[in-house]
Chain A
Amino acid sequence: MFDALSDRLEDIFTRLRGRGRLSEKDVDQIGREIRQALLEADVNVKVARSFIERVKARAVGAKLHEALNPAQQIVKIVHEELVATLGGETGKLTVSSKPPTVILLAGLQGSGKTTHAGKLARHLKSQGRQPLLVGADLQRLAAVDQLRTLAQRIDVPFFSESSDPVTVARKSLDEAARLGRDYVIVDTAGRLQIDTELMGQLRDVRDAVGPHNTLLVVDAMTGQEAVNVAVAFDEAIGLDGVILTKIDGDARGGAALSVKEVVGKPILFAGTGEKLDEFEVFHPDRMAGRILGMGDVLTLIEKAEETFDDEQKARAEEILREGEFTLEDFLEQLRQVKKMGPLQNVIGMLPGMPKEVKEADLDDRELARVEAIICSMTPAERLKPAIINGSRRTRIATGSGTSTVEVNNLLKQFGQMQQMMKQMGVMGRVMQKKAKKNKKKGGRVTPKGTKPPTSKSPGTKGGFPGLGPGGGMPDLGDLGGFPGLPKR
């Protein structure tokens, strides 16, 4: 969501590249550019100002230390500052020592409170908790129906009644006690922060349930207004955290930065889609990484993890280990990649992708063409593309409704991919050996409780250091932009 911002910063730094160190004028110039980028990303004017002051102060100070490379230095500072601003503990709800833990959701109309009440319940349920959903939005037509339907879908009990929000909220606690639920999620009606009457009602609801977590639900597309909303809700009911919704769009989400800055409470969760499972813990470091165009590999890996089943993963391991990769595998992977969502979005999360690729208009239909070409091959051809001669090419082209040129192209690219996989395989084995060596020396510490990988499963922990949760993925960036792939 911060893609365009990262482009802007990249532009600035490209201009800076090749120069020895930063002059004060440079710092001012960078400050202005970052400001414009932040404003275009909907960061509040005032928040942008203080953010830039911090960056500038550090940049000027840093200049006193011997600067390595000005661009890198600024990137690092902006990145750290973004992480610091967006950061805090994420995904951590305050748990009441005496159940139930009460979560109150509040926000403007249409920010996604009801949907995210459902998502949060599903999230808690998947962690083995027992939430109760409470529909205290008696304002909007059918809001209660909506929450009830969501509750049914995820098989979580639901409570509401046609009295008033405060009564509903109070009675929901009894209901939770009766049913032995350990979490209560209260959905409230959307309201404008300047509507004193409704804000007063919200306060009453809060007092009736005594929430352990009062969460503000904020639309990632919100503009300058986000600050006013956050401040007013915080003053009225005291916020403990924020849920940022609709980040699957292309809004750059400066609202996240604004809200975090003025309220100072963590952004706990992020809504990443319309479906109930499209909900994740907010990752400030990832978000900051995205701002700076570092890609979002961890999210991608998590997505891959969800999409690929065990058998496919086993096969993937084998491919990587053996370095042998057939068109059959490629077809399989292609189908999985398709499941991960629109190509454009997924590509956006990749680090080190050439700008041309990121900006290319990736049509998912192209995938279908590739699929069609491979499907028009015989099994023998898929296993051994070398046997595909001229007449086979013509047949494949006709069968898939493409041209021989396209078939040739695919085969050529595939050859390069095979090459790449082989290299990866070699690298994997080398690193595996290294890791084993290290272990013998007792050098590398494995996470608590894990045994060193058996010989059958390669030592991935050793092979890809830093891939653990929250870690970066330094190795990948150093692969030199995917060897074997033509730079366009």
Chain B
Amino acid sequence: MDVVLIAVAALMLIAVVGAFAFRARSRADHRRGAIEPPPSQVLVEPPPAPLEVEPAPVLTEPRPAALDVGERARLRDRLGKTRAALAGYLRSVTGRAVDDDVWDELEEALLLADVGVGTTSDLLDAVRARAAELKVRDADEVVALLRSEIEGLLDANPDRELHATPGRTSVWMFVGVNGVGKTTTIGKLAAQQIAEGKLVVLAAADTFRAAAAEQLGLWAQRTGSEIVRGDEGADPGSIVFDAMTSAAAKGADLLLVDTAGRLHTKHNLMAELEKLRRIVERTPGALHEVLLVIDASTGQNGLQQARQFADAVDVTGIVLTKLDGTAKGGIVLAIQRELKLPVKAVGVGEAVGDLIEFDAREFSAGLFEGDS
């Protein structure tokens, strides 16, 4: 408690001093007239409401064509497509003897892929040891060693399956920070699962962001899923509860719970997430997956995200989104290394079929492709 008291005292001091100074400042401003409201315009403003235009009908209508899951994209194809124009990063290394420059270039390649300082030096140390052991002279062989090291790390616990129990409602929860693509991921998964003949219910437990429920609602229309939603600002717990009841009553195979994006540093929001998990767990054995969605362009903060979310809701796997860009998502290596969380799906585009299985070989190859 002492620490807290010190903290409060110090804050108070600041606040008092600050309030003091601001009072003086705002008085000064007032004299200057700086904060006077601008003179009212002669122009009469019409109220904003009638200006609105209905959203694009093309968006609200189901687009069956897009739902043709068809061939799922392959990671290599996608990576190849987007990175074809880029020269192989390590081309410069090819054919050279191993020297310090080669190691530096390897380090830089890993760092540029967001693998992170710690994981990078661990990986390179391991490869250095192996290379010395095998008396490797050629840079290409070192790269091969590095790739196998990375694959070994990624495949340490290769449970990449999205689990469900046939004959009962299995629940998958989706969590993550803002803007990583949770809702879109759910839309794609719903489409894929429905294509496999499953009955899918979506729970729109993101009641915070404006129009998040609408977004999921449009996905429900497009995919033919059921959706349980409430008003904006409603208690997400009640929506999850209703969704559990509704999914059970309908005999749904899958319930996908969309949660509001939240920064892992916000204690109260993380507590809310824990509560959502507890509500799902009231039905024993229903919760099968808690998936942390991570944007491939995320830097080292991704590890912190994974730690906090894992701590709060016991994450079972990672969905790595937006890997179709030049971002390489190397942060999942750090996450895998520390938290042993497998990547269970990868987003590589905007189409429904663009959510695919993760492949350690293709991923590690992708890490070394392209220069920036």
Contacts and interface: CB of A to CB of B under 8 A. Distances in A.
A381 interface: no
B15 A316 contact: yes
Q: Which of B18, B31, B324 has the most CB of A within 10 A?
A: B18
B14 interface: yes
Interface stretch (A54-62, A74-82, A152-160, A281-289): A152-160
Contact of B322 (A192, A300, A301, A367): A192
Interface string A277-298: 0000000000000000000010
Interface string B1-26: 11111111111111111111111110
Nearest to A163: B56
B325 to A, nearest CB: 4
Contact of A451 (B2, B31, B184, B266): B31
B51 A175 contact: yes
B48 interface: yes
B112 interface: yes
B117 A246 contact: no
B322 A109 contact: yes
A206 interface: no
A308 B16 CA distance: 10
A394 interface: no
Interface stretch (B161-169, B206-214, B338-346): B206-214
B297 A108 contact: yes
Nearest to A42: B299
A157 B48 contact: yes
Interface stretch (B144-152, B175-183, B250-258, B352-360): B175-183
B108 A45 contact: yes
A482 B20 CA distance: 18
A316 B20 contact: yes
A290 B6 CA distance: 21
Contact of A360 (B3, B113, B302): B3
Interface stretch (A64-72, A344-352, A436-444): A344-352
Interface in A467-484: 467-469, 476, 482
Contacts of B217: 142
Contacts of B16: 316-317, 319-320, 333, 424
Nearest to A405: B1
Contacts of B180: 110
A364 interface: yes
B215 interface: yes
Q: Main secondary structure on chain B at its contact with chain A?
A: helix
**Which 9 pairs across A and B sit closest by C-beta, in order of nearness?**
A223-B299, A110-B179, A162-B56, A301-B18, A128-B38, A42-B299, A142-B215, A146-B211, A251-B301
B217 to A, nearest CB: 8
Interface stretch (B39-47, B91-99, B131-139): B39-47
A42 B302 CA distance: 11
Interface in B57-73: 57-59
Contacts of B9: 413, 416-417, 420, 482, 485
Interface stretch (A23-31, A89-97, A456-464): A456-464
B327 A225 contact: yes
Contact of A223 (B184, B215, B327, B350): B327
A146 B3 CA distance: 42
B340 to A, nearest CB: 21
Given A148-B52, A224-B299, A347-B7, A460 B114 contact: no
Given A108-B297, A250-B301, A223 B178 contact: no
Interface stretch (A33-41, A208-216, A382-390): A33-41
